[in-house]
Amino acid sequence: MITMAAVDRFSLLYREISRACNFYIEALAIVGTWYTARKCISFACSTYNLLRLHFLPKLVGEIDLVKQYGRWAVVTGSTDGIGKAYAEELARRGVNIILISRNKEKLEAVSQSIAETYKVETDFIVFDFSKGREAYLAIKEALKDREIGILVNNVGQFHSYPDYFVNVSEDILWDMINVNIVSANMMIHIVLPGMVEKKKGAIVNLSSAVCYKPTPMLSLYGACKSYLDYFSRALHYEYASKGIFIQSLTPFAVTTKMLSCSSITSKRSLFFPSSEEYARQAVSTLGLSKRTTGFWKHTIQVALGKHIPEWIWAWVAQSFCRSVRKEALASKLK
């Protein structure tokens, strides 16, 4: 007990208070040490995973995808952007490619280009993923005699520009759900039985970094991508024991036609890679991580974003989306 009357100098008072609080100081020191150690371990693990996924594959050599998963790969939404670049990267590694998209002329051109450049077999299926359930019978029939080793669910639909939910038409709403969600479910349901029978195969679902935290003005798109991310991870646990590897890719912005509504994201920059640059790194993570951005700079962005409070993330995202919307609307008026 501190007797104030016995203390006539500040130094003595400070010493007595310190002595009385010694237990609490030690407790805080233990908590601080535990917190620091936890953060250091977390940082070390994140650094290790970054190196393991994006840099070590370059040192140890590429995985033989044909031997690991099979001779044929199906890539949806494969005439532009990430889908086309991913198909080309798989072909470079010796995998035969089946392209699925809705534009026949583009499919013929991409199919011929891949076959001539990489000396692999190619085929294509003309298909519009915004159509209903019965339309998938055509894909099922076309793939029934193929031994599919890799399925890449890349096809996706984005807003013409970020917008408020009430401004999204019913047609766009249904198309976005059908293209971004239903397509992956149906394609997996078609090819997965064959993979289970062979006890090997890989499925890649293109999600997005917007699934990590709520992104205003991209609410519908973000919800679709969050569904894909959850679906991929749950499905991986269901089928990993059967030799099937299922991966959720969650990239930030990649300079594709889909993001041409913004003058910022439509140009390749430090954190906005080209489709080809992104695909090279993303394919190298196949079999190594069930959930990854696919690109080392995006991995750093996600790591930093996880430490940002949700309201700050949402505020920054909405501010950016508003500026993109304003830019898109202004260009329409020209």
Return d(Cα 273, Cα 96) in angstroms, integer: 26
Give the list of residues 6+ apart from residue 150 with CB closer than 8 angstroms, or none: 65, 69, 70, 72, 73, 74, 90, 95, 201, 202, 203, 204, 286
The tokens for 42 are 């977390």
Return d(Cα 269, Cα 264) in angstroms, integer: 9
In whole angstroms, how far apart are CA 167 and each of 159, 164, 218, 316? 11, 6, 12, 21
Other residues' Cβ atoms within 10 Å of the Cβ of residue 38: 10
Residue 86 a catalytic site member = no
Active-site pick, 118, 136, 221, 278: 221
In whole angstroms, how far apart are CA 194 and each of 99, 146, 333? 18, 9, 51
N-terminal to C-terminal alpha carbon distance within the chain: 80
List, by residue number, the catalytic residues: 221
